[in-house]
């Protein structure tokens, strides 16, 4: 188990970062070149003002008309994304590792707050999964892989939660925690999870099209 841990925190970790960053860069470049080839006209209507507004209104809870039509779903989605981002960045244990490896760290939240946010995150994922099952218009568009991608982000948090509370064999749980985290990062550039970055490009281009070209808001 110790040997597996050393591999996951050594060469496997560096390989994960290379795939994650390289994959996202390659995907963005590919989509950019495709847009220049298939829809060059959109660049004639590029507008920083409309692009920024398109992003901001979709980053504010209930900022768009479609969000206001589904207030509960919107709330849960924002809770899911906020906790998904904040927990790994501001967890004290992670910042200690960053400090030891690179001499940098962020402000850390109290463990009890992170603990509560982890429970909220897992509850939000359960809600989103149930919604896909219950709502017919969503269920017919959802395949097995969609459920997998929705459930996958839960695994690093479940194993991290178990490790923190020392539930189960600690070393094995920690190995699983690192393994699931690395798998998640590797999959991001090549799946729908890539929207964590592509969202900003998509909203910008929609802002160009709707605002810069048609003079109409995209939210």
Q: What is the 3-state secondary structure (H, E, C) of the chain?
A: CHHHHHHHCCHHHHHHHHHHHHHHHHHHHHHHHHHHHHCHHHHHHCCHHHHHHHHHHHHCCCCCHHHHHCHHHHHHHHHHHHHHHHHHHHEHHHHHHHHHHHCCCCCCECHHHHHHHHHHHHHHHHHHHHHHHHCHHHHCCCCHHHHHHHHCCHHHHHHHHHHHCCCCCHHHHHHHHHHHHHHHHHHHHHCHHHHHHHHHHHHHHHHHHHHHHCCCCCC
pLDDT given for residue 125 in this prediction: 93
Residue 82, C-beta contacts closer than 8 angstroms, at least 6 positions apart? none
The per-residue pLDDT for range 38-49, each reduced to its tens digit, is: 777 777 777 888
Mean pLDDT lowest for which of 9-13, 143-147, 200-204, 211-215?
A: 211-215
Quick one: tokens of 167? Answer: 């539930």
Quick one: tokens of 68? Answer: 């206001």
pLDDT given for residue 151 in this prediction: 86
Report pTM: 0.86
pLDDT given for residue 46 in this prediction: 77
pLDDT band at 85 (very low <50, low <70, confident <90, very high): very high
pLDDT given for residue 98 in this prediction: 81
Task: Considering only residues 193 and 211, tell me which one the structure prediction assigns the higher pLDDT.
Answer: 193
Quick one: tokens of 75? Answer: 């709330």
pLDDT given for residue 1 in this prediction: 73
Q: Would the pLDDT of 188 be above 90?
A: yes
pLDDT given for residue 7 in this prediction: 86
pLDDT given for residue 121 in this prediction: 95
Q: Would the pLDDT of 36 be above 90?
A: no
pLDDT given for residue 177 in this prediction: 95
Task: Considering only residues 212 and 111, tell me which one the structure prediction assigns the higher pLDDT.
Answer: 111
């Amino acid at each position: 188990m110790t040997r597996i841990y050393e591999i996951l925190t050594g060469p496997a970790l560096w390989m994960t970062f290379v795939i994650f960053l390289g994959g996202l860069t390659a995907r963005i470049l590919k989509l950019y070149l495709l847009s220049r080839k298939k829809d060059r006209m959109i660049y004639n209507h590029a507008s920083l003002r409309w692009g920024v507004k398109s992003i901001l209104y979709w980053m504010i809870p209930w900022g768009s008309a479609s969000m206001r039509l589904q207030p509960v779903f919107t709330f849960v989605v924002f809770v899911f994304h906020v906790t998904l981002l904040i927990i790994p960045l501001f967890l004290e244990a992670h910042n200690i590792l960053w400090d030891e490896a690179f001499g940098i760290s962020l402000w850390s939240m109290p463990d009890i707050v992170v603990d509560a946010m982890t429970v909220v995150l897992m509850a939000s994922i359960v809600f989103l999964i149930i919604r896909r099952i219950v709502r017919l218009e969503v269920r017919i568009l959802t395949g097995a892989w969609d459920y997998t991608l929705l459930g996958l982000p839960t695994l690093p948090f479940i194993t991290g939660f178990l490790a923190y509370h020392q539930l189960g064999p600690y070393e094995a749980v920690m190995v699983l925690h690192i393994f699931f985290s690395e798998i998640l990062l590797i999959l991001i550039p090549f799946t729908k999870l890539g929207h964590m970055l592509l969202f900003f490009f998509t909203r910008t281009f929609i802002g160009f099209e709707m605002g810069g070209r048609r003079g109409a808001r995209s939210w």
